[in-house]
Every structure is written in structure tokens, then in C-alpha cells.
Amino acid sequence: MLLMKDIILDGHPTLRQRAKEVNLPLSKEDLDTLRQMMDLVENSQNDEMVEKYKFRPSVGLAAPQINQSKKMFVMKTADENFKNLHKYAVVNPKIISFSEEKTYLSGGEGCLSVDEEITGLVERSKRIKARVNLVDLETGETTQVILKLNGFPGVVFQHEYDHLLGVLFVDKMKEYLPDIEPIEFGVNA
Ligand SMILES: [Zn+2]
């Protein structure tokens, strides 16, 4: 089981590398890693587990954050209206379009790899379209799909995607973002 101590922190060189493509079909090791990453995110959303293991609540985790420089990440979150669940294990994603329209999380972004005290406003595209290999964590099957994400889940996706490019939210953080409509949310990813 992955714990907070398995997550590397800003200053570690792996967080600054461009992650490498993952071989498909997915190896048993990579599938296991993705399962463990999803478990960590789910544990961090479970009060009992948070109490017991001191997880920081989070909605996503990218492989570089556990010191594996590979293009894969997991996310699990509802959208901002709490209508739909967005639970994805993603391999070799490529964002193929970013909307002109921007947004940001009014409560700021945070990151398990960055000190808890630091949160910041980050400009993101309101809508994105990405070509991804979605992994079924039960069977290990991967399916290439075009994922269209709007609002909050799209922001989470862009945060995780940045990890694969060696970019942290602190690199992009602003004091305030005038003239952009925010999403009323803050989060660790
Ligand atoms: Zn992060």
C-alpha cells in the first residue's frame, strides 16, 4: 500500500523530468502501480484511512510523484455539481485541444508533492480534449478514447498532465487572476 512517505516532494529531480511513454499492452508492473496509485487517492478520500495513515486528501496522483518517470496518472473526483464521477487511470495521454476560455479554482490548487501550506491560483483551460489510453483497473485492458472534460475534472486532468511534463502548479501560480470566471473549489492533486 502506498503511503504519504512514498510521495516525493518538490526539489526531487524526478518531478522535473519529462516522463517516458508507457509500453502497451500494459505490463503487470505498470498495472499494479496504477492500482496502488488509485488506492492511495481513494484512501485519501476515506476519513478512517486519513485518520489512521495521515493521508492528505487528494483527487489525483501522477506516476512521477511516486518516483516513476512514466506517462501515467490516476484521478478520481466528482464534477463541481457533484453529478458525475470522473474516475480514470490514464496512460500516455495527449491533450489535443485547449479551450480559449480560461478558469481557475477559487480555493487554489495544491499538490501532494508540494508543502501543504502552499496553494495557489493557476490559470487553466475551461475545456480540454485529450487522446488517452484508459485502463480498466479490474481487467488491465486499455482502450484508446478521446476524453472531453469540462470545468473541475478538466482542471484536475491538466494538473496531472503537467506532472508528466515535469511541471508543478507552483511554477504557474498567480496572486490573482482578473477577468476569469473561477470554479468555486480548491484541491490537492
Ligand atoms: Zn500534483
Whole-number Å distance, alpha carbon 95 to ligand 1 midpoint, is 17
Whole-number Å distance, alpha carbon 122 to ligand 1 midpoint, is 12
For residue 186, is pLDDT > 80?
Answer: no
For residue 185, is pLDDT > 90?
Answer: no
Q: Is 153 helix (H, G, I), strand (E, B) or coil?
A: helix
Whole-number Å distance, alpha carbon 73 to ligand 1 midpoint, is 10
User: Does 51 participate in catalysis according to the annotation?
Assistant: no
Ligand 1 ion: nearby residues, β-carbon < 5 Å: 111, 189
Burial class (CB in 10 A: 0-12, 13-18, 19+), 12: middle
Dist CA 68 CA 30 (whole Å):
10
CA separation, residue 54 to residues 47, 61, 67, 121, 175 (Å): 10, 16, 20, 25, 29
Q: What pLDDT, on a 0 to 100 scale, did the predictor assign at position 34?
A: 98
For residue 77, is pLDDT > 80?
Answer: yes
Catalytic, out of 48, 117, 160, 181 = 160
Q: What pLDDT, on a 0 to 100 scale, did the predictor assign at position 71?
A: 98
> What's the CATH code of the domain at 8?
3.90.45.10
Q: Which domain holds residue 139?
A: 4-188
Q: How does DSSP classify residue 79?
A: -
pLDDT band at 172 (very low <50, low <70, confident <90, very high): very high
Share above pLDDT 90 across residues of the chain, in percent, rounded to a whole number: 90
Q: Each residue of 107-141: pLDDT tens digit?
A: 999 999 999 899 899 999 999 999 999 999 999 99
Task: State the total domains in the chain.
Answer: 1
pTM over 0.85: yes
